[in-house]
Amino acid sequence: MASKRIVLKFGSGILTRKDAPEPDPVQLRKLVEAVALLKRAGHSVVVVSSGAVASGLKPLDFKQRPSDVTTLQALAAVGQTHLMHAYESLLRDHGLHVAQLLVTHEDFENADRAPRVKAVLDRLMEFTQVVPVINENDSVAIEELRYGDNDKLSSRVARFWGADVLILLTSAPGLLRDMKKPEEGPIPVVADVDEVIHHAEEEKSALGTGGMISKLRAVQDAVHGGVECIIASGRHAEQIPLLIEGQGICTRFPASHS
């Protein structure tokens, strides 16, 4: 199988415990193991990871996530170091190392900064033992703290890097056929994301809160940029390598080449 450029987006919903607002070490280990398998298969992998705020709660003795932005930024500043330490510790077991990249959306838009970010990312990818983990710099930027949980950022990274596929890992198994009948499972393939996102925005209740809409907007941006997208459950990290092979339970969005 030909090697691919893969962006994996880990949302906070799959990085934290279901019963407490703190990181889930078992879950993170499974996700890292999937990354290691992809690397072993010869693929290039970039991770866009949330979880900095959640990682800062326990060290600062917070029992729940606060609402004010300044405190969230402080939590992110502390939590980011804990999060990167966790990634480094787990990746090291597979002979890999983490490379932290903290960015803001302006880094992709500024004419001076964008080429530098691209150059650094390309250089990092030349080191096969390195896995870049990208997060929004929440200590200075507030957009991710309010919207999208890094969905938009993962799409920007995928387009910017020229990825072959973007996998958005969430708590859902994909875009469900019917939210009221989850047992029917996800729609396997969505040929036209524009039609689906219009329906989602018209009837938000059909897709729960804005969480899935945020992902569909990210998909819309990525597929129009030539990047295939997949929405799948991050709670079943063992199937991530299968997703790259065209298998697994998920919703696929073919890239638009028009």
Please tell me the distance from the alpha carbon of residue 24 to that of residue 225, in angstroms, as a whole number: 33
Distance, first Cα to last Cα, the chain: 26
258 is in an annotated binding site: no
Whole-number Å distance between alpha carbons of 63 and 101:
28
Report d(CA 97, CA 94) in Å as an integer: 9
On whether 211 is known to bind a ligand per the annotation, the reply is yes
Name the packing angle between helices 151-161 and 211-224 (round to 10°): 10
Query: Per the annotation, does 214 bind a ligand?
Result: yes
Q: Confirm or deny that 212 is annotated as ligand binding.
A: yes
As a whole number of angstroms, the distance between CA 18 and CA 25 comes to: 12
9 known member of a binding site: yes
Q: Is 18 labeled as ligand-binding?
A: no
Q: Is the distance from CB of 166 to CB of 227 less than 8 angstroms? A: yes
CA geometry: angle 162, 255, 118, nearest 5 deg: 10
E strand or H helix at 204: none
Residue 150 annotated as binding site? yes
The binding site for ATP consists of 9, 209-215
The binding site for substrate consists of 50, 138, 150
The binding site consists of 9, 50, 138, 150, 209-215
